[in-house]
Structure 1
Amino acid sequence: MSAPVAVRRPANRSRDEARNGLPVEPDTSQPLPKRLLRTPLAWLTALVVVGYAVCLVLLYRQVVPDQEVPGGVLPGLGREAVPIAARYAAITVIPLTLLFLWADRFRPQRFWVWFMTFGWGACVATFFSAQVNSWAAAHLSIIGDGDPATGARAAIFVAPFVEEAAKGTVLFWLAILIRYAWVSRLSGIVLAGLSGAAFAFVENILYYGRAYRYAARTIGSVPPEEALRQVFVLRGLLTFFGHPLFTSMTGIGLAVAMRSRSKTVRVVAPLAGFCCAALLHMTFNTAASLLSGRQQLIVFLFVAIPLVLGFVGFVVRQLLAQGRLIRTRLGDYVRVGWLEADDPVPLSRLRTRPRALWHALLRGPSTFLATLRFQRAVTELAYLRDSMDRGLVDAAGHARERVLLAKIRTLRPAAVIQPVGAADYPWRRLRRRGRVAAVPAYAPPAFPGPAGLAGSYPAAPGTPGAPSAAPGPLGQTATRYSEVDPTWKPPGEQ
């Protein structure tokens, strides 16, 4: 009877972990290639990469060469304009991406999650949005400058819903695949921001390339580089926040749903987030299409800027709130004696955690990896405790809790938890190596004092009691001993 029970328990445990979305520790006894081949996420990533490449190639073939449309030829971007436009678009997307990754500080996602989210926004969302926008605009009988997607009504009534749905689809997929990692509203903002920034990157390439190509083909127009820079100032500098801000509403709605036990909230919150994203997008496109000059400036100064500043303040508040949450939940383990009393404060501060990683990096790769894994394990433990307290994870969370506590105990000796003093920079180590340790001088001999014969350490050379000097007398200096007669023997002995 014992054998079936031993086989059944791991299966039940895996089923409990899958039901709660808990991660499963990899079997490190197997080689890495074998583990990757048995991981569903590895195969999913490979399939997604192929899909991204296909969408990107199809979009390139659609927008770069000239296309024949009813009534004439629609000029494409041309191969010359694409690299130039991509450089200008990268000026915006690189800082935005780094900013969102910086905001994902307490519980950063895995690299493949960032890659899948960014790639979806750049490849899949842009391709399907271009197809659906053109199809819907054509059915609305909109007449533009040869491209049916350039009409104002398409930009106002079609593009917001289509583009927000295309960008937000990846968020719903990730909410299904890694729902355990959606620990806060910051998780939704970061992932949504990456998708929106990637979408804006490719869309900006299209806008910049069209401006460049139009100026190059039009006689008497401004130079192509000048025309591109004018569009760059408008889209890349003044309104760069558009797509990330819109899609973040969908991410916040999903995050609220993931952290709630109410079925009503889980249905209404994502729908409300998507509607808010589409409404903001529609308002932005309306102002850009129907307003001009001073009207646009008023909307920009009194609507757009306050909205962006409020969003930044919301993100900062969320960062501080997550620090307090981690400190509180780690305090639960301190009270039962499973963590050190000094752990919660340095592991929940925004400045102390990266400083500890910097100190660890200067001490060597092994210390850096141990510190990074220690911080991730402690943070996951805090959010696991919060999920169990909210009722989002049932008793299966105790098994994961024990795994994390064991990992923390193993990594603690090699990790930097509370950085103290200045970092161990290489030049500081070289300076310490260059210093010659000063040899303490011997105290002046005071025979029979602490130096010399019968002292605690030898006397300095050239002094009485030193090896090179003549041995001093034993006992008091006034005492003199006679020489021993080697022929002496007791009386009566022959």
Structure 2
Amino acid sequence: MEYRALSGVLARPSDPVRTRVLVVLLAAPGVAILELVRQQTGTAGFCVGLGLAVLPVPPLMAAFRWLGRAAPGPWRQLLFCCGWGACAAALIAIVANSFATQWIAAATADPSDADQLGSVVIAPVVEESAKAAALLLVFVFRRRRLAGPADGFVLAGFTATGFAFTENILYLGNAFDEDVADGTGVLDSVTAATFFVRIVLSPFAHPLFTVLTGLGFGMAALGRRRRSRIGPPLLGLAAAMCLHALWNSSSRFGEYGFYVVYGCVMVPAFGLLLLLAVRIRQRRLRAVGAELAVYAAAGWLGPAEVPALASMPARSLARSLARRTGGRAAGRAVALYEADAAALALLRHRARRGGPARERDFALHERELLRGLWLRRATAGPALARAAVLEELLPPWFDPVPVPARPVVVPGPRPARAGTPDTGASHGHAAHTDASPAGAADARR
């Protein structure tokens, strides 16, 4: 049975039935929302909007994936969040927004007032809540996959990217339909203006809002008390709604209101989140290096592997070296080894800092991750050691391939006894008491 590392913890075995069910559940609202958009924009407008809306999707996905590379999660999980945003969240938003706007217009007999309230009040609440539902599902049913704010950041980014994709189809398609009806030229068209504002100036708008919610869920995943698990997501969601409302109301602040909000709020907020993303990534890599050093001392990793695993360029180089000598299978083995090692380090880091995982859960996941490392070490170890040398991560006198001080026995997958801290090596001679959170705490004392 193959196990894969998922953002700091071990994933469950792949389940084709569960995957098919999720695909069907997302495909149904996906077909519905695309048909609704096509009815509003027309077939020609839909095709134009689709072609233009897809342009910012790959760069945004690559940016959020870059942040998660320190402890990579599976594409299946990321695509679920993106699909939820593009299909389920978009369908909820368009139906709820239309219903609310019509109800307000009927109640006030003022369509312009209804549009304003719908844009500034209703849309931020509905849209951010719909996008946050994907994060809530992961938090409730796959909480172990949220190892911290970085995972919430990435999942929220993918969810919002999918939502913005569908919304951009609607806006660009409507703009094209309006231009066709008016016979407007390309340069003076509403389509060009909409493309410039939504695709060029502010492709990060929806991700920026939803990332605040994602950070809240990531912080909640580290909490031990109920208050610390409920408060951060609610605060993050409230902040996302407020920022979204401010952005939607920018055009109502006068002739230059949009530019003021964009330059004084959106751009600085984007810069702060970008700086935060870089710092989160660096902290994760430092945590990987610090925690894996303990496993290297216990004999599970080569000493030269630790600096390579804590360096993204060295990881990439190790995969390239493995592919040159052993083909794609070897490169894949090194990639899985790196993912398991990062997941193991973050699992231990979280448990050592008092995460909510029980000791038995920690021992079970640690044992399986160690087993996966040992099975691929023959391929990945030399590639990582060579990468560490080529990247000059080791001192000149360091021998990258030392003779093992003692044998290491691969642990079996059977569970540990309840309440017994385990390093995953308790069934062999490589057991090292300091490789468990409890052992680390004893060593500090």
| Shorter-chain TM-score tier | 0.7 to 0.9
Q: Does 1:273 align with 2:247?
A: no
Tell me which residue corresponds to 2:369: 404
Q: 1:149/1:91 Cα in 2 relative to 1: closer, same or farther (>3 Å)?
A: farther
- The question of 1:392 aligning with 2:364 is answered no
The answer to whether the 8 Å contact 1:261/1:392 transfers is yes
1:73 maps to none
- Going from structure 1 to structure 2, the CA distance change for 1:254 and 1:48 (only over 3 Å counts) comes to same
Give the Cα separation in 2 of the matches to 1:339 and 1:223: 60
Q: State yes or no: 1:156 paired with 2:120.
A: yes
Number of equivalences: 377
Report the equivalent of 1:300.
262
SS in 2 for 1:385: helix
Residue 368 (structure 1) aligns with: 331
The question of whether the paired residues in 2 share the 8 Å contact of 1:133 and 1:149 is answered with: no
Q: Distance in 1 between matches of 2:199 and 2:9?
A: 39
Give 1:331 deviation, angstroms: 1.8
- 2:94 is aligned to 130
CA contact (8 A) 1:149 1:155 kept: no
Q: What residue is the counterpart of 1:55 in the other structure?
A: 29
- Alignment match, 2:162: 198
- CA offset digits 1:92-133 (Å, max 9, x no partner): 112111211122102222121112111110011111101111
Residue aligning to 2:66: 102
The structure having more radius of gyration, on CA atoms, is: 1
Aligned CA distance change for structure 1 residues 315 and 150 (closer, same or farther; 3 Å): farther
Find the counterpart in structure 2 of residue 287 from structure 1.
Answer: 250
Residue 102 of structure 2 aligns to a residue whose secondary structure is helix
| Counterparts of 1:361 and 1:156, CA distance in 2 | 53
Q: Which residue of 1 aligns with 2:221?
A: 258
In percent, how many aligned pairs have the same letter? 27
Alignment partner for residue 206 of structure 2, among 240, 243, 262? Answer: 243
Contact (CA 8 Å) 2:68, 2:154: kept in 1 or not? yes
2:285 & 2:48 partners in 1: Cα distance?
42
Instruction: Give the 3 Å change call, closer, same or farther, for CA 149–295 of structure 1 in structure 2.
Output: closer
Matches within 5 A, 1:161-200: 161-200=125-164
Alignment of 1:402-441 (within 5 A): 402-415=367-380, 416-420=383-387
8 Å Cα contact 1:137/1:148 also seen in 2: no
Say if 1:317 and 1:391 are closer, same or farther in 2 by CA, change over 3 A: closer
1:150 deviates by: 7.6
Structure 2 CA distance for aligned equivalents of residues 113 and 356 of structure 1: 25
Q: How far apart are the structure 1 equivalents of 2:356 and 2:97?
A: 39
Instruction: Please state whether the residue corresponding to 1:78 is helix, strand or coil.
Output: helix
The amino acid across from 2:90 in the alignment is T
SS of the aligned residue for 1:345 comes to helix
- Judged with a 3 Å threshold, the aligned counterparts in structure 2 of structure 1 residues 123 and 57 are, in CA distance, closer, same or farther, namely same
Letter in 1 for 2:171: Y
Give, as a single letter, the amino acid of the residue that structure 2 aligns with 1:405.
L
Q: CA deviation at 1:297?
A: 1.8
Distance 2:107 2:318 in 1: 60
Q: What residue number does 2:346 align with?
A: 383
The TM-score normalised by the length of structure 1 is 0.71
Shift of 1:147: 8.7
Q: Determine if the alignment matches structure 1 residue 46 to structure 2 residue 20.
A: yes
Cα distance change of structure 1 residues 311 and 217 upon mapping to structure 2, 3 Å threshold? same
Unaligned stretches of 5+ residues in structure 1: 1-19, 27-35, 66-75, 424-494
Maintained 8 Å contact 2:104/2:114: no
> What letter matches 1:58 in structure 2?
A
CA distance, structure 1, for counterparts of residue 197 and residue 335 of structure 2? 40
Question: In 1, distance between residues paired with 2:112 and 2:29?
Answer: 21
Q: Which residue of 1 aligns with 2:180?
A: 216
For residue 270 of structure 1, what is the amino acid of its counterpart? P
Alignment partners' CA distance in 1, 2:113 and 2:176: 19
| 2:55 aligns with one of 91, 94, 109 | 91
Cα–Cα, structure 1 residues 422 and 113, in superposed 2: closer, same or farther, change >3 Å?
Answer: same
Match of 1:341 in 2: 303
Cα distance in 1 for residues equivalent to 2:169 and 2:144: 35
Relative distance call for 1:149 and 1:411 in structure 2 (3 A) is farther
Name the aligned partner's letter for residue 318 of structure 1: I
Distance 2:95 2:20 in 1: 25
Q: Deviations over 1:273-314 (max 9, x none)?
A: 1111111111111113x0343332222222221111111000
CA RMSD of aligned residues (A): 2.5
For residues 35 and 111 of structure 2, the distance between their equivalents in structure 1, rounded to whole angstroms, comes to 16
Corresponding residue for 2:76? Answer: 112
Is residue 329 of structure 1 aligned with residue 291 of structure 2? yes
Structure 2 match to 1:357? 319
Does the CA-based 8 Å contact 2:64-2:154 persist in structure 1?
yes
Query: How does the TM-score come out when normalised to structure 2?
Result: 0.79
